[in-house]
Chains A and B, each alone.
Chain A
Amino acid sequence: MLRAEHVSKSFCVGRGRNTKIQAVLDVSLEINKGEHLGLVGESGCGKSTLARMLAGLIRPDGGTVLLDGQDIQKLPVKARKEFRRKVQIIFQNPQQAFHPRMKLYETLAEPIRLFHLVETREQERLMLEEAMERMGLTTDIFGRYPHEISGGQAQRIALLRSLMLEPKVLIADEPTSMLDVSVQAQILKLIRQTTEENEIALLLISHDMDVIRAMSDKVIFMHESALNLN
């Protein structure tokens, strides 16, 4: 369903931007409907960069990313909006993904309104309350700003916002790294359930082999600028 074909990405850093880093080199992979794929590799080997290319947030230097056979960089405007919904990404640092001066309720309601998921404001609130409960969060958080919640709460809110949109593909970069073991077990179970029920394809990036083992059918090991399929 979502496929990367020989994608590469390099960055120029340093004084005068004259040092080139090959963050990702010639990676090909495919995630199919309902599949759970684990992605592991040393810190700095290019996992997050690959994830951002798959989500269409950065353009690869070479190679293409395809969703259902269509190059995601060449989508017409309308399809691009659809893509934004179909492929969801959860960043390694969730707080970064929230608008710092927007209350969390607004942050959560925004995509619902954008994609017209429900008709009325009451339904919207109901939908959010229900989703919060499943994540073990309480609605007192709604009125707060992103810096006023704990790390683990932020992670769960990021997850909730993505799952709410019923994506086809969920790319999750260390989604439970700030949760204690018990809440983590609950959230992983919830991710499993939701992805299985709706046949969501999952690409899970983690340094925690126990998490990878519990969650994925297939694991990809990434080395510095190279990929070994397993």
Chain B
Amino acid sequence: MEEEQTRELWRIERLQVFFKTRGNDIMAVNEFSLSIYQGERLCLLGESGCGKSVFGMALLKLLPENAEVLGKAYYKGMETVGMSEKTFARLRGTEIAVIPQGAGSSLDPTMRCGKQVEECLRLHEKENSQVCRQKVLSLLKRLELPRLPGIARDYPFELSGGMKQRILVAAGIVCHPQFLLVDEPTKGLDWGCRDKVITLLKKLVEDEETSVLLITHDFNVAKSLADRVVVMYAGEIVEYGMREDVLERPVHPYSKGLLAALPQNGFQAIEGFSPPLDQIPKGCRFHPRCPHATGRCAQEHPNLTDLGEGREVRCFYAEG
């Protein structure tokens, strides 16, 4: 059992993503090294625009053409960064799935909603369409969509924001993938629906040993889903560890600041905003906003320090 649980599904080594733009080149993800284990739920937190979605899309090879990805990523031992698009697309249709950010722009506006979910299933299984349709309907029912089965025939523009989000969730999980990237799955959902989505994702992990990479701004979702948490700032990992450690006893000043900004902790925002990614400050990327910054922080870029028990922090003054 022990060994089973620690099987590595992804091993990511120094992954970097650059964007060629009309201005300076942007480094959106910098030297990301990380493993994702089978049946694990890993949560990615971080400031808006820090590169979370770009990292996820880089793993899934879904970035636009102006992006350049360096480094290595091994999925079940297969290197994927250099893999041909065609080979990877086959994986993406069958064992790797994604629930992308932004329901409004991710659904195909010209295709009926039910069909979009069915399509995902048909790629995966060779079932006939009747069986597929039944499966899809029962999933939509569990997500508490109203007006079933009629709603499956509606087009995306005929649905409310929260309904579209649930269609996206359904399309992501319907084929029982082995790896699922989930980007803000609960955006625009009320509490009832949010619980449903969390429960479904949990069940998927328990029943199928799916690994989930969850990107979210919602701490409650992170708390109830994640095993491990990674905190990102301006394109790099600044802290990671077990959920309880990072969410309850954060070490990095940015993680601490993020927690202090929670409503129950007083809505206290971190001063300032993060730097533009084409003008990263010298030294520690967080130092201009850090209340504890010293001269050293402005000069030298800190590496991740191992604090033991699977915990690493990018700060000179980190103590476990």
A and B: partners? Answer: yes
Which residues of A are in contact with B by a Cβ distance under 8 Å? 11, 13-15, 19, 21, 41-44, 47-49, 92-93, 95-96, 136-138, 140, 143-144, 147-153, 156, 173-174, 177-186, 188-189, 207, 210, 213-214
User: What are 14 A-B contacts with C-beta separation under 8 Å?
Assistant: A43-B188, A44-B163, A96-B105, A138-B275, A153-B48, A174-B188, A178-B101, A178-B102, A178-B184, A178-B187, A182-B258, A183-B269, A185-B261, A207-B191
Q: Name A14's contact: one of B105, B150, B187, B270 (CB within 8 Å).
A: B150
Cβ-Cβ contact count across A and B, 8 Å cutoff: 141
Among B257, B267, B272, which residue has the most Cβ atoms of chain A within 10 A? B267
Q: Does B48 lie within 8 Å of A152, measured CB to CB?
A: yes
Q: Does B23 lie within 8 Å of A182, measured CB to CB?
A: no
Cα distance A207–B146 when bound, in Å?
18
Which residues 185-243 in B have Cβ within 8 Å of A in the complex? Answer: 187-193, 217, 219
Which residues 153-192 in B have Cβ within 8 Å of A in the complex? Answer: 153-154, 158-163, 184, 187-192
Cα distance A88–B262 when bound, in Å?
29
Among A148, A151, A173, A186, which residue has the most Cβ atoms of chain B within 10 A? A151
Q: Does B263 lie within 8 Å of A210, measured CB to CB?
A: yes
Q: Name B105's contact: one of A93, A152, A183 (CB within 8 Å).
A: A93
Total interface residues in chain B, CB < 8 Å: 59
Cβ of B45 within 8 Å of any chain A Cβ, yes or no, is yes
What are the residues of chain B within 8 A of A93 when measuring CB–CB? 102-105, 161
Which residues 122-176 in B have Cβ within 8 Å of A in the complex? Answer: 146-147, 150, 153-154, 158-163
Cα distance A141–B23 when bound, in Å?
10
Cβ of B64 within 8 Å of any chain A Cβ, yes or no, is yes
Cα distance A195–B140 when bound, in Å?
40
Q: Does A140 lie within 8 Å of B161, measured CB to CB?
A: no
A-B complex: 6 closest residue pairs judged by Cβ atoms: A152-B48, A93-B104, A43-B162, A136-B273, A138-B276, A210-B263
Cβ of B24 within 8 Å of any chain A Cβ, yes or no, is yes
Cβ of B49 within 8 Å of any chain A Cβ, yes or no, is yes
Q: Does B48 lie within 8 Å of A48, measured CB to CB?
A: no
Cβ of B250 within 8 Å of any chain A Cβ, yes or no, is no
Which residues of B are in contact with A by a Cβ distance under 8 Å? 19, 21-24, 26, 45-49, 53-54, 64, 66, 101-105, 146-147, 150, 153-154, 158-163, 184, 187-193, 217, 219, 257-258, 261-264, 267-270, 272-279
CB distance from A48 to the nearest CB of B (A): 6
What are the residues of chain A within 8 A of B159 when measuring CB–CB? 44
What are the residues of chain A within 8 A of B102 when measuring CB–CB? 93, 95, 151, 178
Among A44, A96, A173, A178, which residue has the most Cβ atoms of chain B within 10 A? A44
CB distance from B193 to the nearest CB of A (A): 6
CB distance from B67 to the nearest CB of A (A): 10
What are the residues of chain A within 8 A of B188 when measuring CB–CB? 43, 92, 174, 177, 207
What are the residues of chain B within 8 A of A41 when measuring CB–CB? 190
CB distance from A19 to the nearest CB of B (A): 6
Known: A93-B103, A150-B53, A181-B262. A174 touches B161 (CB 8 A): yes
Q: Does A44 lie within 8 Å of B104, measured CB to CB?
A: no
Q: Does A178 lie within 8 Å of B161, measured CB to CB?
A: no
What are the residues of chain A within 8 A of B279 when measuring CB–CB? 138
Cα distance A186–B192 when bound, in Å?
28
Among B45, B47, B64, B191, which residue has the most Cβ atoms of chain A within 10 A? B47
Q: Name B53's contact: one of A19, A151, A179, A210 (CB within 8 Å).
A: A151
CB distance from B269 to the nearest CB of A (A): 4
Q: Name A183's contact: one of B104, B273, B277 (CB within 8 Å).
A: B273
Known: A180-B45, A182-B258. A43 touches B154 (CB 8 A): no
Among B21, B46, B264, which residue has the most Cβ atoms of chain A within 10 A? B21
